[in-house]
Amino acid sequence: MTLTFIYFFVVVPYVKSFSRICGKGISATPDFVNAALGLCLLDVFMSFVTGFTRNEGTEVVLEAAMIARHYTGGFFLLDLITSIPYTWFTSSRLDPPGPDVNFLQFIAEMIPLLKIFRLSTLRHYVRQVNSACGYSSVADIAIWLSLLTTLIVHWSACLTWGFPFVTLYATRRTIEESDAYVIKSGIYGRNSWKIYLAGLHMGMSNLVGSNFMELMETSMSDKFIRCILLLSGTAYLIYLIVVFLQLIESSAEPELKYQAIINRVREYIEEKNLSQTVSDRLMKYYEYRYQGSFFKENAIASTLSNHLRLEINVRSNRGLLETATVLHNLPRALLANLLNSMTPVIYLENDVIYKFGDEGDSMYFISSGTVAVINSMGKELDHLVDGGHFGEISLLHLNYHREVSIIAIETCELLQLHRRIFSRLILPDSELHRRLTRISEKRLSEIRNSTRLSQRQDDTNRRKFEMQKLLMRTEVSTSTSTD
């Protein structure tokens, strides 16, 4: 329907102004106008079987009775009266203006022009097409403003040319009795394309408020339509300025909000008199967290449907899903619920994520970054990178105390899964529960074996050190006795 609306908004005003009411060119309603009216009439019937959204697009209504109630309470009457081919009920030829004109037929001729009140629907269709093509919001606005400007310029030409003839029908005067500029100047006698160019020139001049010499002496109808178009052009210019200012503001808004947050952080640092090291780490955290711009993610997410929110979480974490083997081949719904329930956390370089002996109640997935696994003896056991996970034993056992320490080697983005959420989503006999059990048992065995080896090595080193000290003492004693 997008092309149909554009076609309607271009062709119908042109035919009405430059052919039908002025008596130029074809006097009968062209078939291509009736075709557009027929498509619009078909759209009326299709609207009764097409669902609609409500609650800000989060709910789709498909019930026939509710669809009918919604449409009849909206644009149904306007769509119906502007889509019926009026020539089915009246003569296909419109009488020229004069004392004997059939004014009801003239009103029927003008009714399809009320379709202009459906301009908001065309905007909706254009936005959907641009979205389907993958255009950005800026490109969408640029396309819409270009289309709207073209239509307004075209309508100004049609209105400038057609309005004097409308006044003739209203006053029941003939064309020869008119004092309108388009008739007195002789433009009326030219061919169709020259008439349209003249109307386009006058319409654009009226919109922007420029003076042109050919309208030094004008009729009241010319002055009236000039005032209307001048006000409309000024209003549209203000609208364009407001839209451009909003685009500029929206493009800079994330950076401005980010700078405001950074300024508040600096004020906080000064107020608390933090050390340079802590201040640098705090600034580094916010710089990494917001990446130079600030978005109200929670406010945006709160307006989305649950299904869309889950889908976005899956898409935004697809890198983790590809690298975390423990999550492979799980149902998509389960993955979406897990990701939606995880808490994103950021740790800077050398941050301690948890220490040996801490009571654990959550596990972590590594979205990006590298962490070091260190046992109770201070020995580094392993490095975990993107897609890795740790702390899963805490999900399976209550009152479990960590047997290793985890330290961030670089800035890390982690997803934290709490035990209470895991217990709510994952059944004990599920595949994920069995996987984590096998992994936790294997890791726990490796940690304890490495700890025992470290203890043995420490004991060996300690005994060697004690033997060396004993030998040194013996050598000193022997040397003293010899002296």
Number of structural domains, the chain?
A: 1
For residue 428, give Cα distances in angstroms to 424, 440, 451, 477: 10, 14, 30, 68
pLDDT of residue 27: 47
Mean pLDDT computed over every residue of the chain: 79
pLDDT average, residue stretch 13-33:
67
228 in a domain, yes or no?
A: no
- Percent of the chain at pLDDT > 90 equals 8
pLDDT average, residue stretch 170-199:
77
Q: Give the pairing of strands 343-347 and 412-418.
A: antiparallel
pLDDT average, residue stretch 236-245:
88
136 in a domain, yes or no?
A: no
pLDDT, tens digit, for every residue of 102-134?
Answer: 777 778 778 888 888 888 888 888 888 888 888
For residue 482, pLDDT beyond 90: no
Give yes or no for a contact between 414 and 364, defined as CB atoms under 8 angstroms apart.
yes
Angle at 395 between CA 392 and CA 398, to 5 degrees: 130
pLDDT class of 477 with cuts at 50, 70, 90: low
For residue 56, pLDDT beyond 70: no
pLDDT of residue 418: 92
154 in a domain, yes or no?
A: no
Q: How far is CA 295 from the centre of its chain?
A: 12
Report d(CA 398, CA 409) in Å as an integer: 29
22 in a domain, yes or no?
A: no
For residue 305, pLDDT beyond 60: yes
pLDDT class of 417 with cuts at 50, 70, 90: very high
Half-sphere exposure of 298 (CA within 13 A, CB side): 2
Give yes or no for a contact between 255 and 293, defined as CB atoms under 8 angstroms apart.
yes
358 in a domain, yes or no?
A: yes
Report d(CA 439, CA 60) in Å as an integer: 44
Neighbouring residues of 305: CB distance < 8 A, sequence distance ≥ 6: 57, 58, 59
Lowest mean pLDDT among 166-170, 218-222, 371-375: 218-222
pLDDT class of 55 with cuts at 50, 70, 90: low
411 in a domain, yes or no?
A: yes
pLDDT, tens digit, for every residue of 441-474?
Answer: 898 888 888 878 877 777 676 777 677 766 676 6
Give the residue numbers spanning the domain of 432: 341-451
pTM for this entry: 0.56
336 in a domain, yes or no?
A: no
The structure tokens listed for 284 are 């580094």
CATH assignment at residue 428: 2.60.120.10
Give yes or no for a contact between 262 and 285, defined as CB atoms under 8 angstroms apart.
no
pLDDT of residue 26: 45
100 in a domain, yes or no?
A: no
Q: SS3 sequence, the chain?
A: CHHHHHHHHHHHHHHHHHHHCCCCCCCECCHHHHHHHHHHHHHHHHHCCCCEEECCCCEEECCHHHHHHHHHCCCHHHHHHHHCCHHHCCCCECCCCCCCCCHHHHHHHHHHHHHHHHHHHHHHHHHHHHHHCCCCHHHHHHHHHHHHHHHHHHHHHHHHHHHHHHHHHHHCCCHHHCCCHHHHCCHHHCCHHHHHHHHHHHHHHHHHCCCCHHHCCCCHHHHHHHHHHHHHHHHHHHHHHHHHHHHHHHHHHHHHHHHHHHHHHHHHHHHHCCCHHHHHHHHHHHHHHHCCCCCCHHHHHHCCCHHHHHHHHHHHCHHHHHHCHHHCCCCHHHHHHHHHHCEEEEECCCCEEECCCCEECEEEEEEECCEEEEECCCCEEEEECCCCEECCHHHHCCCEECCEEEEECCCEEEEEEEHHHHHHHCCCCCHHHHHHHHHHHHHHHHHHHHHHHHHHHHHHHHHHHHHHHHHHHHHHHHHHHHC
For residue 227, pLDDT beyond 90: no
CA-based nearest residue to 435, from 385, 394, 392: 392
